[in-house]
A and B are shown apart, each in its own frame.
Chain A
Amino acid sequence: DQQVKQNSPSLSVQEGRISILNCDYTNSMFDYFLWYKKYPAEGPTFLISISSIKDKNEDGRFTVFLNKSAKHLSLHIVPSQPGDSAVYFCAATDYNNNDMRFGAGTRLTVKP
Chain B
Amino acid sequence: GAGVSQSPSNKVTEKGKDVELRCDPISGHTALYWYRQSLGQGLEFLIYFQGNSAPDKSGLPSDRFSAERTGGSVSTLTIQRTQQEDSAVYLCASSLARAGGTDTQYFGPGTRLTVL
**Residues of A bordering B, CB below 8 Å:** 2, 4, 6, 9, 32, 36, 41-46, 49, 89, 91, 93-105
Contact B40 A104 (CB under 8 A): yes
14 further interface pairs, Cβ-Cβ under 8 Å (given A44-B107, A104-B41): A2-B42, A4-B42, A42-B109, A43-B91, A95-B100, A96-B100, A97-B100, A98-B45, A98-B48, A98-B99, A99-B45, A100-B43, A101-B42, A105-B42
Name A's interface SS: loop
Query: Does B82 interact with chain A (Cβ within 8 Å)?
Result: no
Which residues of B are in contact with A by a Cβ distance under 8 Å? 4, 33, 35, 40-45, 48, 50, 56, 58-59, 91, 93, 98-102, 104-110
Q: How far in angstroms is the closest Cβ of chain A from B98?
A: 7
Closest CB in chain B relative to A34 CB, distance in Å: 8
Residues of A near B105 (CB, < 8 A) are 46, 100
B103 to chain A, nearest CB (A): 10
Partner of B102, one of A36, A49, A94, A105: A49
Tell me which residues across on chain A come within 8 A of B99, comparing CB atoms: 93, 98, 100
Could you tell me if B45 and A101 are in contact, using CB atoms closer than 8 angstroms? yes
Query: Which of B93, B98, B105 has the most C-beta atoms of chain A within 10 angstroms of its own C-beta?
Result: B105
Are A100 and B107 interface neighbours, CB within 8 A? no
A45 / chain B contacts, CB cutoff of 8 Å: 106-107
Q: Which residues of A contact B43 (CB under 8 A)?
A: 44, 89, 91, 100, 102
CB-based nearest A residue for B99: A100
Q: For residue A96, which residue of chain B has the nearest CB?
A: B100
In the complex the two chains form, is A41's CB within 8 Å of B109's CB?
yes
Which residues of B lie under 8 Å from residue A41 when comparing CB positions? 109
Do B100 and A93 touch across chains, with their CB atoms under 8 A apart?
yes
CA distance A9 to B33 in the complex (A): 25
Hey, which chain B residues are within 8 Å of A2, CB to CB? 42
CA distance A46 to B59 in the complex (A): 22
B residues less than 8 Å from A32 (CB atoms):
100, 102
